Structure 1
Amino acid sequence: MDKAQFRELISNKLLILDGATGTELQKKGMPTGVCPEKWVFENPHVIKSIQKEYIKEGSNILYTCTFGGNRIKLDEFGLGDRTVELNRSLASFSREAAGNKCLVAGDLASTGRFIKPLGDMSFEECVNIYKEQVKGLLEGGVDIFVIETMLDIQEARAALLAVKESCDLPICVSMSFDENMRTLTGTDPVTALITLQSLGADVVGCNCSTGPGQMVQIISMMKPYARVPLMAKPNAGLPKLVNGTTIFDMEPEEFGEYTKDFLKAGVNLLGGCCGTSPDYIRQIYMKSSGMKPEATVFKPYSAITSIRKTVAFGFSRPVAIVGERINPTGKKQLQAELREGATHEIRRFAAEQVEKGADILDVNVGMPGIDEKEAMLSTVSLLSSITDAPLCLDSSSPEVLEAALRIYPGRALINSISQEKVKLERLLPVAAKYGAMFILLPLSDEGVPEKAEQREAIVKNIFDKAAEYGYQKSDVVVDGLVMTVSANQEAAVETLNLIAWCAKEFGCGTIVGLSNVSFGLPERSWVNAAFLAMAVGSGLTMAIANPSSDLLMNIKMACDVITKNDINSRNYISFFNNRQKPSAVEAQAKAEAKKIGERIFDAVLEGDNEIIGALISKALDENIGARDIVDNHLIPAINQVGKLFDEKKYFLPQLIQSAEAMKKGFIYVEPLLKQNGSVQEKEIIILIATVKGDIHDIGKNIVALMLKNYGFKVYDLGKDVSAETIINKAKSLKAHIIGLSALMTTTMVEMKDVIKLAREQNLSCKFMIGGAVVDADYAREIGADGYSRDAYEAVKLAKRLSKD
């Protein structure tokens, strides 16, 4: 099925997806702990019977039983070399079950590993892993692809690119959001939607994690920004343990009652996830009879994203400031660090500009004597982890921009595409492939036209080419190309004329680099500020500037009020209520004047493992004791990180970076602590494992890392670990605490068996549990001593249990 046919199919009707597969397989005899893909391969009649039942009850799309069918997951069962074979066979089983009654979706899900810098897997490695699985699914005859239950937007991007680069079939991408409506790595629904639809997803939505009530809210958040159809696959409420069996608290009839709400919210594809059987699908079918998805009128908008934030800009919105400081021109310290591969100045410029009001960060690392491509990739990777601000990728090299776009975990802005032949032919298809917005530079191989009318002609030509790739005017920002007035006093007027034409006639946003206008003049800030005010009055929507300029930012805030783009002057009032913040120079001086202990604290808080070793060495040279460093600086810092994580001001990337900085800090002080006999009096031993039958370990790995960084002695047994193995190891190690993890409703019951076996063998250790499917009530029910919902809570719980 091609994309046009798929769009036509879902244009005016609800497509019904299938329900849960794993629990249905277990009902039919699949044992826990086996590889589902291998078991289904050996028992094809079972999956065919289940899927035929879903078709009978109303499903229009079946998912192949390949949720864990990527090489990384299959390797855990020694089956990685059979990836293509298993996916091909499993897809053919679904193809046979579907016949001509139903579409078959090739199912891709998480590998269980993180992409750098969060994990050890490169982006290209991840793409290639998915391509291998896609190959088998294509050979098995799937009609479309679905990328589901994704917890990390970067991994979702890798899977999406793998499919796009392998075939032209329709692609659906479904993320999982927690109760705070964020993914594990902190992406909100709107940001996920804009990133994925821009990259080429034909359908975007959510599945798992929540019941239908909260998922309706997520769809409602996405709908105003959706250029593509939306999908939802909620769980059947919350899991509970009853008589040793996991059940969900929502019956099929209640589940089906949400169908009308989903249709009103704008869903085009609806099914069920954990706990949903064919009975639940029948309810969707019955409740949707005679109904259509709510039609909405799409309103154009301009927006780019980072991993955790969307920045929208354009008409009727405040002028967006693109911070210009991450650029080595005229910055000797930054130039030196780029040559050395150091990042302190980049970190400082990023934090300083965001604090001063930059909405977007321009990233330019081009300079002689370095590998610009590698420098750009490392900078983009760093900034994507440490700041929420989206990036404007700035380079004269098409190769550098293409490489950066590929790994950027959001929707970027490109600076820039002109009518120069090499730029237009090389960059436009690349920008379209990765869904980037771009700054349209009215410049040709002949140079910069002096008159606005000549620039207008170039704008039209470039946009006509961009439209062939699907670009709309809201996806493009025209650079006014202001030249210095000291050389040509007509230059600013022509730029203002072009801005006005874009705003009033062409219908496109505009941007200018403010500092150009005043080059060669004294007291340049006045010229820059005056030009900004006049440009905003002409319709300017963005400006590349230094947000540390008080004059410039004051004028910008006032212009937003006067143009009615700052509703009720909220931004203006907030901005000037915070005027007591020190200037950039004062802030730098204050930072340098900080005592060494405070700088160690800040290094952990900011996740700067590059500088923490040098800071600790300096502290030791100043005769600050190792125990003092740990107790008064390292531990308080990681506690503050945990507090910020708890408050949802920090997310997993910051948590991991800070934990790594903490870990590196301990490497420097631990030998001295042992040498001085200043070690923890009672070493607390924690054994941690994912229970039998469960092969999910991302959350467990994060918990283990955090516990280690807080000084606990952690032994990680891995995943799919039997009760006997856990208890025997706990005995030999004399463990004080056992931590158990489960992410599946079918395996959470194993936790009870581990605790039961421990009590039968008179082990006195404490038990803590965690995982997406368990909660505090479940912990009490099975006799555990505590439950933690994330890594930071696990540390607090372990501290409490170690004192009991």
Structure 2
Amino acid sequence: MNTAQFKELVSQKIQILDGATGTELQKRGMPTGVCPEQWVIENPDTIKQIQKAYIHAGSNIIYTCTFGGNPIKLEEFGLGDRTFEINRKLAQLSREAADGKCLVAGDIASTGRFIKPLGDMPFEVCVDIYKEQVRGLLAGGVDLFVIETMLDIQEARAALLAVKECCDLPVCVSMSFDESMRTLTGTDSVTALITLQSLGADAVGCNCSTGPEHMLEIIAQMKPYARVPLMAKPNAGLPRLSNGATVFDMGAEEFGSFTSRFIQAGVNLLGGCCGTSPEYIRELDKGCGNLIPQNFVCSQYSAVSSSRKTVFFGINKPVAVVGERINPTGKKKLQAELKEGSTNEIRRFALEQLEKGAHILDVNVGMPGIDEKEVMVNTVSLLGSICDAPLCLDSSSPEVLEAALRIYPGRALINSISQEKVKLDRLLPVAAKYGAMFILLPLSDEGVPEKAVQRQAIVQEVYKQAATYGYQKSDIVVDGLVMTVSSNQEAALETLKLIEWCSREFGCGTIVGLSNVSFGLPERSWVNAAFMSMAIAKGLTMAIANPSSDLLMCIKMACDVIMKNDINSRNYISYFNNLDKPLQGENEKRADEKKTGERIFDAVLNGDNEGIGRLIEKAVEEKTAPQDIVDLYLIPAINQVGKFFDEKKYFLPQLIQSAETMKTGFTFLEPMLKQKKEKEEKADIVIVIATVKGDIHDIGKNIVGLMLRNYGFKVYDLGKDVSAERIIEEARELKAHIVGLSALMTTTMVEMKEVIKLAKEQSLSCKFMIGGAVVDDDYATAIGADGYSRDAYEAVKLAKKLSIQEDAQHN
């Protein structure tokens, strides 16, 4: 099947997917703790029975039993070297079950590890890992691919690229969102959609984590921006414990009653996840009746994204400011840092520009004496972890831009593509492959045309070629190419003509680099601001500028109001409510004006793992007591990080970056710290953590362990797939005050109860806390746990609470 056939298929009829596989295998005798893929190969009739039951119930597409079929997951069972063979065989089994009656989708899921900088796995290693699985599934004869239950947009990108670089089959991508409608790493549903459909996904959607009602909200958020079909695979409500087994609170009939609502919301592919069975799929099929799928052609819009935020811009919207300061031209300190591999100035420029109102950050690291590609990749990786703003990747080198696009965890803006042959031939295909928007520079190999009409001709020609790669006018932004008026007073007027033609006739966005117009003149800010006002009146949609210029930003805000692009003046009012003294310089102390202690606080807050050591050394040289550094700066900073995480101002990447910075700070201080007498006499709070038997997921547990250690707890991590007997034995031997249990699967969450039951039988008095995507407060109460935490920061707060209770019991 090719992508055109897939598109035609889902536009004509709702495609019913299958339901849960793991629970169905367990019903038929698969024991916990085994490798499902290997067990199915050894018991082939079982999977064929399950899949035939789904087909009989109405499934048009069934998934291969390869959820854990990537090399990393298989290696947990010593089977990593058999990845190709296992995937090929499992795909063949599904084809035998299908018997030509439905399509077979090669199922791909998470490796369980994070990609750098969030984790330790290089992006290309992740792509290659998935390619090995993809090749096996292709050999087994799958019709299409489904990448499902993804928690991290970067890992989803790696899997999607792996499929697309191996074949031309359709590929669907399904993310898992929590109650806040974000993934584990903070990506919201619209950002995930825009990133994945731009990268070439043939369908995008969500599965697991939530029941039908909540998933309908996620689909409703996606639909207005969907250029591809949407898919949904909700759980059968919420899990609960009943007679020692995990059950879900929604029956098949109630589950099926949501079918029409999903179709009305815009879903083209619909199935079930945890807790569902062939009975549930039968109800979905029954609910479809003669309902017709919605069209997945949406209205035009322009948008770029980071891993956690989308910025919309364009005609009739407020002017988007692209911060220009991450550029070594004329900046000696930044040049020196780029040569030595330091990132202090990049961090400072990024955070200051965002604070001043930049929507997008331009990133240009081109200068002699460095490996521009390596520096650009490192800079993109850094900025992705410390800030939410989308990036404009700025380089004259196609190789540099391609390397940056490959690892960029969103939809980038490229600066720029012109009619120059090297740009059209080499960069346009790369931009299309990675789904990037691009700035169209109206110049050719002959140079810069002076007149607007000549530039118009280049714009039309470049767009004509871009359209062959699937680009629409909303996917490009034309650079007005303003030249300095000090040498040619006609230059600005010609640029204004081009901007007006683009916005009023051609129908695309426009951008200008404001500083160019005033080059060579005194008091340049007035010329820049006046030109920007005139350009906005002609339809300008973006400006590359320094957002620290209050004059420029204030006039931009006013122009947005006058042009009716700022609805009810909301942005204007918000901006001036937060601007105490417009036109009068900085409102807060500059970083170099802050005391060392304040800068240590900021380093933890901003995740500056590189700079924290130097700052602590400086504070010690200034005679600040090591314990004061901890009590006055490090602990308050990590508490503030936790508060931001609670308020959804920070997400997992920032949390981990700050935690690592805190850890580095303690490493510097540890040899100097002298424990107070009362602390020496008081035993450390010991916490034992483990993922329970049968469950090999440990991402959440590892993050919890990191955070607990940074708050002073003594943590012993027993790993994953740990039996109840070993957990209790280790807890007793280590004299644990608290035991933390994790489970990500509905089939293994019952093991938590077994651990607590065994502890009571053996009179172990420690407290128990639980966590994981499939559990909640009610489940904690049902199994006798002392508390539940939904994330790493809540785990810290719960551990503090439980440790106080432990102290009270022993005193």
Q: Report the equivalent of 1:794.
A: 795
Contiguous gaps of at least 5 residues in structure 1: none
Task: Please give the alpha-carbon distance, in whole angstroms, between the structure 1 residues aligned to 2:122 and 2:69.
Answer: 19
| Offset, 1:583 | 7.9
1:697 and 2:698 are equivalent in the alignment: yes
Q: Secondary structure at the match of 1:768?
A: strand
Residue in 1 aligned with 2:551? Answer: 551
Residue matched to 1:319: 319
Aligned partner of 1:259 in structure 2 is: 259
Secondary structure in 2 matching 1:187: coil
SS of the residue corresponding to residue 325 of structure 2 reads strand
Determine the C-alpha separation between the residues in 2 that align with 1:273 and 1:535: 52
Q: Work out the CA distance in 1 between the residues paired with 2:296 and 2:426.
A: 36
In structure 2, the residue matched to 1:132 is 132
User: What is the CA distance between 1:676 and its match in structure 2?
Assistant: 6.9
Compared CA separation, residues 583 and 494, structure 1 to 2 (3 A): closer
- The whole-number CA distance in structure 2 between the counterparts of 1:97 and 1:322 is 54
Cα distance in structure 2, aligned partners of 1:504 and 1:613: 54
The one-character-per-residue Cα deviations of 1:321-348 (angstroms, maximum 9, x if unpaired) are 1110000001111111111111111111
Distance 2:589 2:733 in 1: 55
The 5 A counterparts of 1:569-588 are 569-580=569-580, 586=586
Match of 1:14, as an amino acid? I
User: Residues 438 and 661 (structure 1 numbering): CA distance in 2 closer, same or farther, change over 3 Å?
Assistant: same
Q: Is 1:393 aligned to residue 372 of structure 2?
A: no
Q: Is the 8 Å Cα contact of residues 776 and 786 (structure 1) preserved in structure 2?
A: yes
- Partner SS, residue 393 of structure 2: strand
After TM superposition, list the pairs within 5 Å mapping 1:110-509 onto structure 2.
Answer: 110-295=110-295, 298-509=298-509
In structure 2, distance between residues paired with 1:548 and 1:266: 43
| Partners of 1:181 and 1:189 within 8 A in 2 | yes
The equivalent of 1:522 in structure 2 is: 522
Equivalent residue, structure 2, for 1:753: 754
CA shift digits 1:562-586 (9 cap, x unpaired): 1110001111111112221688964
Change (3 A) 1:759 1:83: same
Q: State the partner residue of 2:106.
A: 106
Q: Deviations over 1:241-287 (max 9, x none)?
A: 00001000000011011101101000000000000000000000111
Tell me which residue corresponds to 2:808: none
Q: Tell whether the 8 Å contact from 1:492 to 1:517 is kept in structure 2 after alignment.
A: yes
Shift of 1:141: 0.4
User: Are 2:746 and 1:737 equivalent residues in the alignment?
Assistant: no
Q: Distance in 2 between matches of 1:689 and 1:608?
A: 30
SS at 1:447 equivalent:
coil
- Scaled by the length of structure 2, what TM-score is found? 0.98
Structure 1 CA distance for aligned equivalents of residues 345 and 678 of structure 2: 36
CA distance in structure 2 between the partners assigned to 1:673 and 1:555 by the alignment: 52
* Displacement of 1:497: 0.9
3-state SS in 2 of match to 1:738: strand
- Structure 1, residues 413-448: CA drift from partner, whole Å, max 9, x if none? 000001111111010000000000000001101100
Give the AA of the match of 1:699.
Answer: G
Aligned to 2:711: 710
Corresponding residue pairs, total: 804
Residue 624 of structure 2 corresponds to: 624
Give the Cα separation in 1 of the matches to 2:107 and 2:305: 26
Q: Give the direction of change, closer, same or farther, for the CA distance of 1:288–1:588 in structure 2 (3 Å limit).
A: same
Deviations 1:435-493 (A, max 9, x none): 00000001101100111111111111111110110101000001110111111111111
AA in 2 matched with 1:385: S
Q: Give me the whole-angstrom Cα distance separating, in 2, the residues matched to 1:82 and 1:678.
A: 56
SS at match of 2:161: helix
The answer for unaligned runs of 5 or more in structure 2 is 806-811
How large is the RMSD of aligned CA atoms in angstroms?
A: 1.3
Query: Does the CA contact (< 8 Å) of 2:14 and 2:269 recur in 1?
Result: yes
In 1, are the aligned partners of 2:536 and 2:559 still within 8 Å (CA)?
yes
C-alpha contact 2:150 2:176 (8 A) present in aligned 1? yes
Aligned AA (1:28): R
The equivalent residue for 1:722 is 723
Amino acid at match of 2:778: D
Deviates more, 1:330-339 or 1:104-113: 330-339
Structure 2 equivalent of residue 662 of structure 1? 662
Q: Specify the SS of the correspondent of 1:667.
A: helix
Q: Distance in 1 between matches of 2:673 and 2:536?
A: 60
Shift in alpha-carbon separation, 1:261–1:584, aligned structure 2, 3 A: farther
Contact in 1 for aligned 2:550/2:585 (Cα 8 Å): no
| C-alpha distance in 1 between matches for 2:90 and 2:576 | 62
CA contact (8 A) 2:10 2:293 kept: no
Amino acid at match of 2:615: L
For residues 118 and 676 of structure 1, what CA distance do their matches in structure 2 show? 35
Could you tell me how far apart the structure 1 residues matched to 2:330 and 2:794 are? 46
C-alpha separation in 2, matches of 1:634 and 1:31: 47
1:75 maps to amino acid? E
CA spacing shift, 1:640–1:497, aligned 2, 3 Å: same
Question: For residue 148 of structure 2, what is the amino acid of its counterpart?
Answer: E
Q: Which moved more, 1:405-414 or 1:586-595?
A: 586-595
* Alpha-carbon distance change, 121 to 493 in structure 1, aligned in 2, over 3 angstroms: same
The CA distance in 1 between the partners of 2:276 and 2:691, in whole Å, is 24
Measured at CA, do residues 773 and 616 of structure 1 come closer, stay the same or move farther in structure 2, by a change above 3 Å?
Answer: same
- Counterpart CA distance in 1 for 2:66 and 2:480 is 51
Q: Whole-Å Cα distance in 2 between the matches of residues 572 and 436 of structure 1?
A: 30
Cα deviations by residue, 1:125-181 (Å, 9 ceiling, x for unpaired): 000000000000000000000000000000000000000000000000000000000
SS at match of 2:627: helix
| Aligned amino acid, residue 422 of structure 2 | V
Residue 294 of structure 1 and its aligned partner are, at CA, apart by 2.9
Q: Following the alignment from structure 2 to structure 1, what is the Cα–Cα distance between the partners of residues 647 and 207?
A: 25
Paired residue type of 1:241: L
CA deviation after TM superposition for structure 1 residue 639, in Å:
0.9
Measured in 2, the distance between the counterparts of 1:196 and 1:765 equals: 45
CA shift, 1:622, in A, is 2.1
Report if aligned partners of 1:64, 1:107 keep a CA contact under 8 Å in 2.
yes
- Structure 2 distance, partners of 1:293, 1:592, is 59
Q: CA deviation at 1:675?
A: 7.1
| Equivalence for 2:809 | none
Structure 1 residues 746-768: Cα deviation after superposition (integer angstroms, max 9, x where no partner): 11110111111111111111111
- Secondary structure in 1 aligned to 2:672? helix
Matched residue, 1:85: 85
Contact 1:627–1:678, Cα closer than 8 Å, also in 2: no
Q: Is the 8 A contact 1:548 1:583 kept in 2?
A: no
Conserved 8 A contact 1:692-1:719: yes
Instruction: Among all aligned residue pairs of Structure 1 and Structure 2, give the percentage whose two residues are the same amino acid.
Output: 78
**1:803 Cα offset (Å):** 1.5
Distance 1:405 1:192 in 2: 16
| Mapped partners of 1:671, 1:687: distance in 2 | 26
1:623 CA drift (Å): 2.1
Following superposition, the deviation at residue 295 of structure 1 comes to 3.4
Over 3 Å counting, the alpha-carbon distance change for 1:45 and 1:390 in structure 2 is same
